[in-house]
A and B are shown apart, each in its own frame.
Chain A
């Protein structure tokens, strides 16, 4: 039983972690907490749903279409909403993302309606495999593990070794110095949003497969992923993943012991972390409150 709880907790935690990473990438480059992240993922999932159910394309093609759409959406929001802001403060930009969130939610409600839908995802929670005697893992969890691992490794290599990845870190540390190096910082911001939106969309599709699809479905996962990101320290990507996994485990064990209190655990965690260690568990650089 314990190992079952652990596996389930790890899976949902990895999913939180993945979505938290999407939030953290934008936070890292511009210190903006993107409150529209959940709804960007939601819209992308709806696009996947649309091409799957209306045009009946195979799943892998729908997945690619969704990823491309998510990247374009991320860039579009950065270019249309954030860039024109004159003399922006961080708080002002955060409010703009809140506005973008409402806009996207309204858009989804208008196009696809508010009723709940089933998202026809390739990997289902119901199909399980017994990998060890007494330990069953569903396909959904396996998918999460694989994708989370692939994305993490990719991000690690990207930020460590690629020129663009290093330039993104440089821009985050000192925008003016980055400009002097000849880095096009505006383009860096657009790429950041595209990457973040892509990762968020992957996570959102997993969340949709687990619950239902409606314009509000990303609200709670977003808050939890945000809690996970705060727990790990928003500036460290591995920290965010560990935070997500920790949160998933805490939630699962807590939910096993007191099922009726399960939904609030994440928020209790966020409050405790913000009061006790506002920079998160793994943030290594300068202390900054979230």
Chain B
């Protein structure tokens, strides 16, 4: 459903994405993994066209057979992609209800919107209790739930989440991931950016590993989980004693 071919994104003179390509199939939970600065968030922002107007500099992005790499963010949302940004980014001075309503900004079917609001309150009962509070006063986990609820209000076909576990306790992280799985079961395809590799591998059907602006591995989570390099450098199960192994790994992923 989403197919990315050879995109290059630049921040002024720095090339953040060195021509990456991947494809997402309908109904999957896809994880985009990697360390800090690997270009995961940049990939999502490039898809949403939140960077400068002339980015991505090269390559094409197709969503359901339609080129979207030169559309405005607002048109992309209308096509059915929703995005939960890193660090929630709820509207702090709007109430919880107003935040959820803003998520349905592109829709005009009042009835459907009301039904979806009810559905969101069933999915996240805590938001119902806080409906008239300002979103800035919610806790981190509640804000994350609000951000997800808000993103779902546009009835997306593809939901992209940037670090949903950021700053949450392990218990809450688990809850969020379970909810993501539920959303997926209702037919929403999910693209997930995570630093928490362990969690992401547990819940996804397919994973891409990014390093220095390139995709270095693409495989099923079961395979990646058993991979020696992944075990060592992402899951923290150390077997290598010296720094040599780390250096060897860096060399391996650099020249793809």
- Judge if B20 is at the interface, Cβ distance under 8 Å: no
Is the CB–CB distance between B74 and A173 below 8 Å? no
How many CB-defined contacts (below 8 Å) exist between A and B?
65
Contact of B93 among A169, A177, A178, A180 (CB under 8 A): A169
Q: In the complex, which residues of chain A have a beta carbon less than 8 angstroms from the beta carbon of B90? A: 177
Contact A182 B106 (CB under 8 A): yes
The answer, among B72, B93, B105, for a CB contact under 8 Å with A181, is B105
B101 contacts chain A at the CB level, 8 A cutoff: yes
Inter-chain contact A163/B94, CB cutoff 8 Å: no
CB-CB nearest in chain B for A171: B91
Q: A129 CA to B100 CA in the complex, in Å?
A: 51
A285 at interface (Cβ–Cβ under 8 A)?
yes
Q: Are B74 and A170 in contact (CB under 8 A)?
A: no
B40 shortest CB reach to chain A, Å: 17
Contact B98 A166 (CB under 8 A): yes
| Contact of A174 with B48 in the complex, beta carbons under 8 Å | no
A274 to B48, CA, bound (A): 41
A157 to chain B, nearest CB (A): 14
Of B77-85, B181-189, B244-252, the stretch lying at the interface with chain A is B77-85
Query: In chain A, residues 157-211, which have Cβ atoms closer than 8 Å to a Cβ of chain B?
Result: 163, 166-167, 169-170, 173-174, 176-184
Does B228 make an interface contact (CB < 8 A)? no
Given known A166-B98, A167-B105, contact A180–B91 (CB-CB < 8 A): no
The reply to whether B83 and A173 contact each other, CB–CB distance below 8 Å, is: no
Q: Enumerate chain B interface residues (CB-CB to A < 8 A).
A: 48, 50, 72-74, 77-78, 82-83, 85, 89-94, 98, 101-103, 105-106, 150-151, 154
Listed in ascending order, the chain A residues whose CB lies under 8 Å from chain B are 163, 166-167, 169-170, 173-174, 176-184, 285
Can you spell out 9 A-B residue pairs with CB atoms less than 8 angstroms apart? A163-B101, A166-B94, A167-B105, A177-B85, A180-B77, A181-B77, A181-B105, A182-B154, A183-B74
